[in-house]
Amino acid sequence: AIGGSASRAENLACSAVGERSCPHPLTDVEANQVLGEHERMVRARFAAIVPVLQRIAREQRAEGFVEAARRIAQAELGIEPPTELLERAWLGGLDMRALYGQVVLKTVTQLANEIHQVQAAGSGATEPEATSFLLDCGYHAVDISPCSDGRLKGLVRYVLRLPEAAIRWRRAYAGALFDVEASVQRWMEAELQRYREHHPVPPDAGTRFLKIAVYHWSSSDPAHQGCAAHGSNQRRAAAAALDRLRELRQAVENRFCCGASVDLLLIGVDTDTDAIKVHVPDGRGELSLHRAIDNLELYRQTLDVDADEARMAVYRAIEESCSRQGWGAAEGPPHDGMRRLVATLLINNLSQIEYVCRTWGGRYPDIGHDERFISVGDGFEEFQLRNLAYFAHLQTLEEGADDMDVGIRIFEKLHASEGRPIVVAVHFRYDSRVPGSRERTILRCKRVRSAIRSRYAHLEQRGLLVCGMTVQDTKERSPIEAVEPTDFPVLGQDGDVR
Amino acid sequence: AIGGSASRAENLACSAVGERSCPHPLTDVEANQVLGEHERMVRARFAAIVPVLQRIAREQRAEGFVEAARRIAQAELGIEPPTELLERAWLGGLDMRALYGQVVLKTVTQLANEIHQVQAAGSGATEPEATSFLLDCGYHAVDISPCSDGRLKGLVRYVLRLPEAAIRWRRAYAGALFDVEASVQRWMEAELQRYREHHPVPPDAGTRFLKIAVYHWSSSDPAHQGCAAHGSNQRRAAAAALDRLRELRQAVENRFCCGASVDLLLIGVDTDTDAIKVHVPDGRGELSLHRAIDNLELYRQTLDVDADEARMAVYRAIEESCSRQGWGAAEGPPHDGMRRLVATLLINNLSQIEYVCRTWGGRYPDIGHDERFISVGDGFEEFQLRNLAYFAHLQTLEEGADDMDVGIRIFEKLHASEGRPIVVAVHFRYDSRVPGSRERTILRCKRVRSAIRSRYAHLEQRGLLVCGMTVQDTKERSPIEAVEPTDFPVLGQDGDVR
Ligand SMILES: [Zn+2]
Ligand SMILES: [Zn+2]
Ligand SMILES: [Zn+2]
Ligand SMILES: [Zn+2]
C-alpha cells in the first residue's frame, strides 16, 4: 500500500519551479514543526507494535515469560499488555492475532490520554478564541463531513489547520455522503442554543450555520487511489457531495420558515499532497463543480513572491473565480465572511502543502490506504492524523452498514490478507449530565459491536476481527473508559429470539 | 386468548351498585355511538378475512378460479387480492400463508384510506381546536409513550378521548420504556418552533411541554394478562415508567439552561375495563406511585348522582389526592392547567368505562392479546383501536429489537402456534418537503424489513412471517403508499460483505 518509488522522485508541489523557491513565503514554520513532531510520535508508537510483538512471540516458551512480556510491552509500547492472553500462552501457544488486536486498542486509549495531557499543558486555541474566528467570518456553528477515508483523518488539524474547538461537528461518511436528517438535527440544536442561551451569539446577530462536505482524489494514481465509495472517480465524488449539500439546504429551507437556511462549502483534497480545491460559493451562496480554486497551483504561482504579495494572490484568486464566464459562472462574489474563510483555508493549506513538501518530498509515500484501525461511532477527537484510522460515524450498524462495508473491504486487503486482524474501535460519547446516558451508551457500544461481529462473522471466526469498546464523557478532554465485552450475541444468527 | 366465560357474568364497573345506575351521568352518549360503529366496522373487516380465505381455498381447483377468487375478495373484503399468488395456485396449490399475510396487509392499507375519507368528510377536532384545549391547560406540546401492547392501541381515541391532533407525538415502546434521548430531541423541536415561529405560542406565553407515560395491568388476571415487558407485575411496570419520566426531566434540566424543564404525567390503564389510574403531580410537579386516582372507583361512586355533582366529585378527588398524608403525600396541589387536564382525562374516561360496560358487560371478552398484526416504525395514525395491532416504534431493529422481541413472542403464541403467519407492517413517514426524504424512507423500510426477516429467520423459513412495507407523507391524511419488496438480504447471514 505504498506509492511506487519511481514517482516519489518528482516533487509534485515545487520541483517544477526550480531550486530556491521552497519554502513557501506563507508557511507557518513553527506550526509545521509541532505538527511534524506529533505525527512522528504517533506513527512511531503504532510502528513499534509489530516488531515488539514479534520479539514477545519469540520468548513465549521461556521461563518467566509473562513478566518478561509485560516489561517489554511497558518499556517499548508504553502499555500494560492483556495479562490473561499471556498467561494462557503455555497452553495452546500465544494467540498472536488477539494479542495484536488488544495491543492496538490499548495503544489507541493510551495515546489519547497522553494527548489530553499535552493539550491541557497549553497550546491550541481555546474554544472562545476558536469560536470568535468563525464568528468573524459570520458563522455561529460549523458542521463538517469528510469521507470516512483514513487519508482525510488529518483534515481539520493538518490539511485545513482550523482550531479543533471551532468545528462543532465532525461526522465522516463513506464518500462524504452524510446523513441529511442528522445534519438537520444539528442545525436545530445550534438554532435552539442561539435562541434560548444566546450562545455563541443571539439570533439577531446575523450569523449563519455552515455545512462543509469534503471529497478527495489521488493525483498520482487517480484511477485506483481515489475515493473507494465512488470507484475512484473524482468528478462523481465531487458531484455526489454537492448534491448532498444542496439537499441539506433544501431540507432546512422547506421544513422551517422565517428564512431558515444554511451556508454550504465544498472542498476537495488531493490525498497525495494534501492540497485542497475550494469550490467558492457565489453571491447567492450557490456552488459549482466548475468553479474552484486549485491550491497546489496557487502554491506554485506564489513560491517566489513575498508574503504580502502571496496573500494578495489568494484574494485575487477568489475574486477571479467569481468573475469567470461560461461553465461555473458566478452571480457575484461571496459575502465578506465567506471570502475571509476561504482565504484563511487556502493560506492555512499552503503550510500543509509545504509540510508534505519538506517531510515527504511533495508527495506522501503512502498514497494508498495504510490505516491502523477502524474507528466506529463518535470517533476520537484525539486522533487527527492522516492514514491512522478509517472513521465511520454511525449510531447503528443497520444504518451505517454501507460505510462500514467500505472500510472492511479496505482493511481486508490491507490487513486480513496479510494475516493481521482488522482492529475496530467502537467509541461513543455520553453526557454525564443526563441520567442513564452512560449506561445507555455502553449498551449502544455492545449492540454495535455485536452487530459488527455478526455481519463480518467470516472474519470473526478466523480471528481476523478484534473489536474493542470505549466510552467518553462529552466534556472536553474527558478520559477514555474501556468497556469490557460481555460476549453474548445480540443479533440472532441461529434464529432464536432473545 | 379470550377471557373465561365465568368471569364475564359479573360486570366489573357497575354490577355492584344495583340495577338502574347505568349509564353514568357524564357519559358522552353520542361519542360512544360513533366510536362503537367505528370499532364494529374495523373488527368486522378483519374478522371476515379467515372465513373468506377458507372459502377461496375450497375453490382453488375449480375452473375460472382466479376470477372467482378476485370477485369474492372484492365483494367480501373490499380489497384486490394478490393476483400472482392466485395464478400460481394450479402449480403447487394455493400458498395460504402468503395469501393470508398479503390480505391482512392490504386490509390495513385499504381501511386506512377509507378512514381518511371519513375524517375528511368532517367530525374530529381540527388541529387549532385541539391545540387550544391543551393550551388552556398550559401545554404547547404533548408527547405520549404508552406500552407497545396492542390493548393500549385505542388509548388516545377511546381510553383518554383526546383530540388526536392534540397529541404531537405518540411513540410506543415495550413496557412504556421510552427512549430518553429521542424525547429530548422532540422537546428541542417543540422549543425551536416556539422561538422561531411562535407556534403554537411564543416562548414568553408561559406554557410547558408535557410527557405522558402509560403503563397497564389486567384486573381480572393480573398475574398473566398484565404487561409482558414487566412480567405482568403492575407495580414494576408503573415504577419503571416513572423512572423513565424522571430521567427525561433530569436530562432536559441538566442539558439545557435557562430553567428548561418538562411536566410529567403517569397514567395506568386496566386493559380489561379501560379504566385509568391517574398519578396526580403535586405542586412541585412530582409524581408518586402511591398518589393516584382510581377512575373505576370514581365511576362507581358517581353512578347515582347528577352530572354536576359527578363533575364536582372528580375535582374533589384531585384535591383529596393531594392532601393525603403518609405514603405519596403531596407538596400542594398541581397547577391549575394540570388540574384541568387531569379532570378532563378522568371525565373522558368515564365515558369509555361506560362504553365497555354497555358493549361488553363491563369487561372485554378478549382480556388477553388478540392483535391482528405488528405495526413497526412510525405506526399508523389511522388505527386507534384496542387489540388491533402491537405497535413497536423504532428507527432501526438494532435499537428496537427488545420491543420487537416482546411482540414476536406474543404473536408466536397467538398466531404462529395456530399456523397463521405473523403479519408485520413496516410503516415509515417521510417529509415531501425534504428532497430525497421519500427515497431514504423507502430504504429505511427495506433495511428494517430485511433485519426483521433475518432476526426471525426461524419463522420466515416456515412461511410464518409476512412482512409488508408502506410509506406515507407527514402531511395529515396523506395516502398510504405500498413499497414493493426487493428481496435482497441486507444483514449478512452468510458472512458475505455486500
Ligand atoms: Zn517545496
Ligand atoms: Zn472516500
Ligand atoms: Zn354499566
Ligand atoms: Zn405492556
Specify whether B149 is catalytic: yes
Q: Can you tell me the mean pLDDT for A89-118? A: 91
Contacts of A458 in chain B (CB under 8 A): 495-496
A203, A405, A497 ranked by CB distance to B456: nearest: A497
Instruction: Please indicate if any CB of chain A lies within 8 Å of the CB of B129.
Output: no
Residues 279-318 of A with CB under 8 A from B: none
Ligand whose nearest atom lies closest to the CA of A226: 2
Q: How confident is the model at residue A488 (pLDDT cuts 50, 70, 90)?
A: very low
Contacts of A495 in chain B (CB under 8 A): 456-458, 461
Give the lowest-confidence range in A383-387, B19-23, B129-133, B186-190: B19-23
Helix or strand or coil: residue B201?
coil
All residues at 6 or more sequence positions from A238 whose CB lies less than 8 Å from its CB, including other chains: A215, A266, A268, A279, A289
Q: Ligand 2 centre from A234 Cα, in Å?
A: 10
Tens-digit pLDDT profile for residues A57-69 = 999 888 999 999 9
Task: Note the pLDDT of residue A215.
Answer: 98
Contacts of A251 in chain B (CB under 8 A): 433-435, 437
All residues at 6 or more sequence positions from A188 whose CB lies less than 8 Å from its CB, including other chains: B188, B189, B192
Q: How confident is the model at residue A485 (pLDDT cuts 50, 70, 90)?
A: confident
Contact A496 B458 (CB under 8 A): yes
Pick the residue with more confidence: A6 or B393? B393
Helix or strand or coil: residue A183?
helix
Return the C-alpha cell found at A476. 472536553
Contacts of B408 in chain A (CB under 8 A): 497
Residues 186-245 of A with CB under 8 A from B: 188-189, 191-192, 195-197, 203
B256, B457, B495 ranked by CB distance to A457: nearest: B495
Q: How far is B426 from chain A (nearest CA, A)?
A: 15
Ligand whose nearest atom lies closest to the CA of B176: 4
DSSP bridge partners of A143: A169, A211
Task: Note the pLDDT of residue B496.
Answer: 36
Helix or strand or coil: residue B478?
coil
Q: Ligand 3 centre from B18 Cα, in Å?
A: 10
Give the lowest-confidence range in A110-124, A352-366, A408-422, B14-28: B14-28
DSSP bridge partners of A216: A269
DSSP bridge partners of B277: B268, B294
Q: Can you tell me the mean pLDDT for A140-160? A: 96
- The count of residues in chain B is 498
Q: How far is B250 from chain A (nearest CA, A)?
A: 7
What gap in Å lies between CA A146 and CA A158, rounded to an integer?
14
Contact A192 B192 (CB under 8 A): yes
Compute the count of residue pairs across chains A and B with CB atoms less than 8 Å apart. Answer: 144
Chain B: residue nearest A407 by CA?
B497
A159 and A345 Cβ atoms separated by less than 8 Å: no
What gap in Å lies between CA B467 and CA B460, rounded to an integer?
9
Contact A247 B180 (CB under 8 A): no
Residue type, A263: D
Query: Is the pTM for the entire model greater than 0.80?
Result: yes
Q: Is A282 left (phi over 0), alpha (psi -120 to 50) or beta?
A: beta
Residues 375-404 of A with CB under 8 A from B: 395-399, 401
All residues at 6 or more sequence positions from A6 whose CB lies less than 8 Å from its CB, including other chains: none
Q: How far is A174 from chain B (nearest CA, A)?
A: 14
Contact A181 B495 (CB under 8 A): no
Contacts of B457 in chain A (CB under 8 A): 492, 495
Give the lowest-confidence range in B111-120, B151-160, B344-353, B475-484: B111-120
Q: Which of A179, A196, A248 to mutate: most B Cβ within 10 Å? A: A196
Q: How far is B253 from chain A (nearest CA, A)?
A: 9
From B143, B149, B366, B378, active-site residue: B149
DSSP bridge partners of A480: A472
The pair phi, psi for residue A124, each rounded to 5°, is: 80, 135
Q: Is the pLDDT of residue A104 over 80?
A: yes
Q: Is the pLDDT of residue B337 over 90?
A: yes
All residues at 6 or more sequence positions from A474 whose CB lies less than 8 Å from its CB, including other chains: A429, A430, A431, A432
Pick the residue with more confidence: B18 or B322? B322
Helix or strand or coil: residue B247?
helix
Contact A192 B197 (CB under 8 A): no
A257, A455, A497 ranked by CB distance to B197: nearest: A257
Contact B192 A191 (CB under 8 A): yes
Task: Note the pLDDT of residue B6.
Answer: 37
Q: Can you tell me the mean pLDDT for A39-52? A: 96
Residues 399-428 of A with CB under 8 A from B: 399, 401, 405, 408-409, 412
The pair phi, psi for residue A144, each rounded to 5°, is: -120, 130
Q: How far is A257 from chain B (nearest CA, A)?
A: 7
Q: What is the dihedral of CA B397, B400, B404, B406, to 10 degrees?
A: 150
Contact B258 A440 (CB under 8 A): no
- The count of residues in chain A is 498
Is the Cα torsion angle B389, B395, B400, B401 positive or negative in sign?
Answer: positive
Question: Mapped to the 3 state alphabet, what secondary structure does B121-189 carry?
Answer: CCCCCCHHHHHHHHHHCCEEEEEEEEECCHHHCCHHHHHCCCCHHHCCEECCEHHHCCCHHHHHHHHHH
All residues at 6 or more sequence positions from A417 whose CB lies less than 8 Å from its CB, including other chains: none
Contact B250 A399 (CB under 8 A): no
Q: Can you tell me the mean pLDDT for A179-202? A: 95
Task: Note the pLDDT of residue B166.
Answer: 84
Task: Note the pLDDT of residue B432.
Answer: 95
Helix or strand or coil: residue B64?
coil
Return the C-alpha cell found at A1. 500500500
Q: Is the pLDDT of residue A6 over 50?
A: no
For residue B366, CA distances in Å to A311, A424, B48, B230 come to: 79, 50, 18, 20
A451 and A86 Cβ atoms separated by less than 8 Å: no
Reference B201, options B150, B128, B302; nearest CA is B128
What gap in Å lies between CA A101 and CA A471, rounded to an integer?
18
Instruction: Please indicate if any CB of chain B lies within 8 Å of the CB of A492.
Output: yes
Q: How confident is the model at residue A487 (pLDDT cuts 50, 70, 90)?
A: low
Contacts of A437 in chain B (CB under 8 A): 180-181, 251
Helix or strand or coil: residue A31?
helix
Give the lowest-confidence range in A473-482, B240-249, B422-431: A473-482
Q: Can you tell me the mean pLDDT for B140-165? A: 94
Q: Ligand 1 centre from B351 Cα, in Å?
A: 84
Residue type, B155: L
How does A460-482 read in b/e, with b if 16+ C-beta sit within 10 Å?
Answer: beeebbbbbbbbbbeeeeeebee
Residue type, A452: I
Q: Can you tell me the mean pLDDT for B54-73? A: 93
Tens-digit pLDDT profile for residues B240-288 = 999 999 999 999 999 998 889 999 999 999 999 999 999 999 999 999 9
Q: Can you tell me the mean pLDDT for A52-56? A: 95
Return the C-alpha cell found at A231. 470507484
Task: Note the pLDDT of residue B23.
Answer: 87
What gap in Å lies between CA B208 and CA B261, rounded to an integer?
8
* pLDDT, mean over chain A: 91
The pair phi, psi for residue B431, each rounded to 5°, is: -115, 105
For residue A197, CA distances in Å to A126, A209, B248 come to: 20, 16, 20
A276 and A160 Cβ atoms separated by less than 8 Å: yes
Pick the residue with more confidence: A275 or A326? A275
Q: Is A231 left (phi over 0), alpha (psi -120 to 50) or beta?
A: left
Contact B195 A197 (CB under 8 A): no
From A149, A366, A378, A473, active-site residue: A149
Q: Ligand 4 centre from B412 Cα, in Å?
A: 17
Instruction: Please indicate if any CB of chain A lies within 8 Å of the CB of B447.
Output: yes
B48 and B77 Cβ atoms separated by less than 8 Å: yes
Q: Can you tell me the mean pLDDT for A183-200? A: 95
Task: Note the pLDDT of residue A493.
Answer: 38
Task: Note the pLDDT of residue A418.
Answer: 94
Reference B376, options B334, B341, B336, B422; nearest CA is B422
Residue percentage of chain A with pLDDT more than 70: 92
Q: Is the pLDDT of residue B125 over 70?
A: no
Helix or strand or coil: residue B376?
strand
Contact B197 A493 (CB under 8 A): no
B396, B401, B455 ranked by CB distance to A399: nearest: B396
Q: How confident is the model at residue B121 (pLDDT cuts 50, 70, 90)?
A: confident
Tens-digit pLDDT profile for residues B278-320 = 999 999 999 999 999 999 999 999 999 999 999 999 999 999 9
A237 and A216 Cβ atoms separated by less than 8 Å: yes
DSSP bridge partners of A215: A268
For residue A445, CA distances in Å to A382, A428, B394 come to: 19, 7, 18
Task: Note the pLDDT of residue B130.
Answer: 76
Q: Can you tell me the mean pLDDT for A369-380? A: 95
A435, A447, A498 ranked by CB distance to B251: nearest: A435
Contact B398 A447 (CB under 8 A): yes
Reference A391, options A178, A231, A240, A183; nearest CA is A178
* DSSP character string of A101-116: HHHHHHHHHHHHHHHH
3-state helix, strand, coil in chain B (%, to 5): 50, 15, 35
For residue A311, CA distances in Å to A32, A302, B378, B428 come to: 19, 9, 54, 52
What gap in Å lies between CA A426 and CA A448, rounded to an integer?
8
What gap in Å lies between CA B105 and CA B111, rounded to an integer?
10
What gap in Å lies between CA B226 and CA B472, rounded to an integer?
33
Q: Is the pLDDT of residue A19 over 60?
A: no
Ligand whose nearest atom lies closest to the CA of A357: 1
Task: Note the pLDDT of residue A120.
Answer: 74
CB-count exposure of residue A335 (10 Å: 0-12, 13-18, 19+): middle
A302 and A354 Cβ atoms separated by less than 8 Å: no
What gap in Å lies between CA B471 and CA B427, rounded to an integer?
6
DSSP bridge partners of A482: A470
CB-count exposure of residue B44 (10 Å: 0-12, 13-18, 19+): exposed
Q: In terms of DSSP bridges, do strands B389-393 and B422-430 run parallel, antiparallel, or are they unpaired?
A: unpaired
What gap in Å lies between CA A329 and CA B259, rounded to an integer?
50
* Measured CA angle at A469 (ends A392, B251), to 5 deg: 85
Helix or strand or coil: residue A458?
helix
Q: What is the dihedral of CA A25, A30, A32, A34, to 10 degrees?
A: 180
B203, B254, B396 ranked by CB distance to A434: nearest: B254
Other Cβ atoms closer than 10 A to B61: 10
B180 and B188 Cβ atoms separated by less than 8 Å: no
Contact B457 A197 (CB under 8 A): no
Task: Note the pLDDT of residue B8.
Answer: 41
Q: How confident is the model at residue A497 (pLDDT cuts 50, 70, 90)?
A: very low
Chain B: residue nearest A193 by CA?
B256
